[in-house]
């Protein structure tokens, strides 16, 4: 029976000495990890799970830093037949109160058997919760010795059926931690099969380089499970190390001849602005065949800035790629830019904002450049519907719905929201977009849409414009709407973090107002420029619009 454990043990038996993972930490030598060491160290965790009464099908929550412990604890759960779920570690970007609230809600809903974390985290975080977490065991990494003994026959993970749930993914957002996306062995394998074809994955030629967190589908599936299950070498660094020294991504790509890399859209801007040429001496990016933009709406300007910055270092325009992905489909829905260049769609701005249509722009009219996310991968179908659930035609903007053979089983223990998310066998993504000549274009999240005087404004568009202003920290801008009772419509507000050392915030704010007003269909009046680390992010590193809106409104009512 094919399941995660059987595939891992096949690699262990047939190519145990193959280095499958190079683990990087700042200040340390890169650590090469073979299948043999990966699985034998993971088995040490398996034994601890079994000793604590964890059975196949039980859920284990992993609250660990991006570390070797996280890797071994995860695959140890797989070998035990348990269902691992990686949760974000509490960091300065997450509000402690919200983290506690979300975590307690999560545990109440999914009812895990166990949590594994560190002694210090247990004492400093979990023991401070207002209510004791209702789990049967709290396991500590410090108490698990890595003995590295050979794997025995008859591991519990081998008993799992292909239709059994193998993992839970928890997407971020205001209620995201309460929605555990349940995925079966079969769904994951079918996704990996289809996606491998779409990107022409070649275990003997490809090398994946990643800094992405493992609690998000892009990091977990594309940059952790896929390489290890499919036998593709993986170079892995911590997202915290990447933020501190982002140039290390490119030195790693150069040193290991990396061919594939996935990045959220903000990282293209961040890498274009924050890395100095002097940090890239002797870097050669010519080995890259695809840098895949995923998890945020894809921006033409971001790609162009990235290309202009890294072309002198061997980066090719043909390597600019994109994918539309979501945890509910395991990962990818579409893929573009691998076989053919990404399609640029120049559309009329007024039709886009006023009439929900993606009409090709005419000479002299205001336009918007949309980048395709590609075509649906094999066995995935995509449609677009209106508010009443009626199918829309080409170039009509509505909610994207999908159908595939790798869709999730449902939101774990949440039949209520699972039912609401499905329409006649199609999953309602909550994303707005349109279809044109077989290509899929994503315009933004349905819940984030701002309506100003009848115009549909996507906050990502305004954020992208604001980030072009000198002195604005890349990726640290949020736009949202606040209803104005006197005008009867929404006012747009932009909050932007200034770069460290920026002196004149008023000047930056005025520049944002001017830039956005000139390059969009709104007259921007409300801008707040703040210091670094003011903005609240979700667990997956995205800007949390609703939480930042609440923080902005609370600040308005503070006493002078």
Neighbours of 11 (CB within 10 A): 20
- In angstroms, rounded to a whole number, what is the distance separating the alpha carbons of residues 298 and 316? 18
Give the DSSP per-residue string, 418-434.
HHHTEETTEEEEEEEEE
Helix axes 459-466, 505-519, angle to 10 degrees: 130
Residue 234 phi/psi, 5-degree rounding, is -125, 130
Longest dimension (CA), the chain: 72
DSSP, res 112: -
Residue 300 phi/psi, 5-degree rounding, is -60, -45
- Is 70 exceeded by the pLDDT of residue 91? yes
Give the DSSP per-residue string, 308-338.
HHHGGGT--GGGEEE--B-GGGSSBSEEBSS
Neighbours of 268 (CB within 10 A): 27
- Is 50 exceeded by the pLDDT of residue 97? yes
- Is 50 exceeded by the pLDDT of residue 175? no
Contact residues for 172 (Cβ-Cβ < 8 A; gap 6+)? 88, 216, 538, 539, 540, 542, 544
Residue 548: in which H helix or E strand, if any? helix 545-556
pLDDT of res. 504 = 86
- In angstroms, rounded to a whole number, what is the distance separating the alpha carbons of residues 402 and 376? 10
pLDDT of res. 179 = 84
pLDDT of res. 474 = 81
For residues 497 and 477, the answer to whether their CB atoms sit within 8 Å is yes
DSSP, res 224: I
Domains with residue ranges and CATH for the chain = 4-291+299-316 (3.40.50.12780), 327-447 (2.30.38.10), 449-556 (3.30.300.30)
For residues 441 and 358, the answer to whether their CB atoms sit within 8 Å is yes
User: In terms of residues, how long is the chain?
Assistant: 560
Per DSSP, the three-state class of 473 is strand
Neighbours of 25 (CB within 10 A): 14
| Average confidence (pLDDT) over 223-236 | 98
Beta strands in 171-240 (DSSP E): 180-184, 208-210, 234-236
For residue 157, give the nearest of 84, 225, 79 by alpha carbon. Answer: 79
Q: Is 146 exposed, middle or buried (0-12, 13-18, 19+ CB in 10 A)?
A: middle
Ranges 36-40, 77-81, 115-119, 214-218: which has the least confidence: 214-218
Contact residues for 264 (Cβ-Cβ < 8 A; gap 6+)? 218, 293, 294, 295, 296, 541, 542
| Average confidence (pLDDT) over 118-130 | 88
Residue 429 phi/psi, 5-degree rounding, is -75, -25
Give the DSSP per-residue string, 346-366.
EEEHHHHHHSSB-PBPPTTS-
- In angstroms, rounded to a whole number, what is the distance separating the alpha carbons of residues 240 and 386? 41
- In angstroms, rounded to a whole number, what is the distance separating the alpha carbons of residues 444 and 428? 14
Percent of the chain whose pLDDT exceeds 70: 95
Confidence of residue 560 (pLDDT cuts 50, 70, 90): very low
| Average confidence (pLDDT) over 540-544 | 72
- In angstroms, rounded to a whole number, what is the distance separating the alpha carbons of residues 439 and 424? 23
Residue 74: in which H helix or E strand, if any? helix 68-79
Per DSSP, the three-state class of 165 is strand
- How is residue 162 written in tokens? 């292909």
- In angstroms, rounded to a whole number, what is the distance separating the alpha carbons of residues 81 and 71? 16
Confidence of residue 174 (pLDDT cuts 50, 70, 90): very low
* pLDDT tens track for 318-375: 999 999 999 999 999 999 999 999 999 999 988 998 889 999 999 989 899 999 999 9
Torsion of CA 10, 13, 18, 23, to 10 degrees: 70
pTM: 0.87
Distances (CA, A) of 32 to 114, 302, 430: 30, 34, 41
- In angstroms, rounded to a whole number, what is the distance separating the alpha carbons of residues 5 and 17? 18
Distances (CA, A) of 344 to 304, 341, 369: 12, 9, 6
* pLDDT tens track for 394-453: 999 999 999 999 999 999 999 999 999 999 999 999 999 999 999 999 998 888 888 776
Distances (CA, A) of 92 to 66, 88, 537: 15, 12, 10
pLDDT of res. 288 = 98
Check residues 452 and 552 and name the one with the higher pLDDT: 552
Residue 459 phi/psi, 5-degree rounding, is -60, -30
Residue 425 phi/psi, 5-degree rounding, is 85, 0
* pLDDT tens track for 369-381: 999 999 999 999 9
């Amino acid at each position: 029976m094919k399941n995660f454990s059987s595939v891992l043990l096949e690699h262990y038996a047939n190519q145990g000495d193959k280095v499958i993972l190079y683990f990087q930490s700042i200040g340390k030598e890169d650590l090469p990890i073979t299948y043999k060491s990966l699985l034998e160290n993971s088995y040490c965790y398996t034994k601890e799970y079994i000793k604590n009464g964890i059975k196949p099908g039980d859920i284990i929550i992993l609250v660990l830093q991006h570390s070797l412990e996280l890797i071994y604890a995860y695959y140890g759960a797989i070998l035990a037949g348990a269902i691992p779920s990686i949760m974000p570690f509490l960091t300065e970007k997450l509000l402690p109160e919200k983290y506690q609230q979300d975590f307690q809600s999560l545990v109440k809903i999914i009812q895990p058997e166990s949590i594994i974390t560190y002694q210090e985290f247990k004492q400093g975080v979990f023991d401070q919760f207002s209510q004791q977490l209702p789990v049967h065991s709290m396991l500590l990494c410090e108490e698990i010795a890595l003995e590295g003994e050979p794997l025995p026959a008859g591991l519990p993970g081998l008993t799992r059926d292909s239709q059994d749930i193998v993992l839970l993914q928890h997407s971020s957002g205001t209620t995201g931690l309460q929605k555990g996306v349940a995925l079966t062995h079969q769904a994951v394998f079918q996704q990996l099969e289809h996606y491998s074809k779409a990107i022409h994955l070649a275990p003997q030629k490809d090398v994946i380089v990643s800094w992405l967190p493992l609690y998000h589908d892009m990091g977990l599936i594309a940059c952790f499970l896929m390489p290890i299950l499919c036998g593709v070498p993986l170079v892995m660094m911590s997202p915290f190390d990447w933020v501190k020294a982002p140039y290390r991504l490119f030195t790693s790509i150069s040193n290991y001849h990396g061919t594939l890399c996935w990045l959220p859209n903000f990282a293209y801007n961040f890498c274009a602005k924050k890395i100095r040429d002097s940090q890239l001496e002797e870097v050669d990016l010519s080995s890259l065949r695809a840098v895949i933009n995923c998890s945020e709406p894809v921006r033409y300007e971001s790609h162009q800035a990235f290309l202009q910055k890294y072309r002198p270092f061997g980066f090719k325009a043909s390597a600019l790629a994109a994918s539309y992905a979501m945890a509910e489909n395991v990962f990818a829905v579409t893929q573009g830019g691998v076989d053919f260049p990404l399609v640029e769609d120049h559309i009329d701005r007024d039709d886009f904002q006023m009439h929900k249509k993606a009409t090709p722009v005419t000479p002299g009219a205001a336009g918007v450049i949309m980048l395709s996310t590609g075509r649906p991968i094999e066995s995935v179908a995509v449609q677009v519907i209106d508010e009443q659930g009626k199918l829309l035609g080409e170039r009509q903007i509505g909610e994207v719905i999908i159908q595939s053979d790798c869709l999730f089983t449902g939101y774990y223990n949440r039949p209520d929201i699972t039912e609401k998310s499905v329409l006649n066998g199609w999953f309602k993504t909550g994303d707005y977009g349109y279809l044109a000549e077989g290509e899929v274009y994503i315009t933004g999240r349905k819940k984030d849409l701002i309506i100003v005087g009848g115009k549909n404004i996507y906050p990502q568009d305004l954020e992208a414009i604001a980030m072009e202003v000198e002195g604005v920290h890349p990726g640290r801008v949020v736009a949202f709407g606040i209803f104005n009772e006197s005008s009867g419509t929404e006012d747009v507000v932009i909050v932007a973090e200034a770069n460290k050392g920026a002196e004149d915030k008023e000047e930056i704010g005025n520049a944002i107002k001017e830039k956005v007003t000139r390059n969009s269909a709104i007259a921007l009046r409300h801008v707040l420029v703040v210091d670094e680390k003011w903005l609240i992010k979700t667990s997956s590193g995205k800007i949390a619009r609703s939480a930042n809106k609440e923080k902005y409104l609370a600040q308005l009512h503070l006493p002078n």
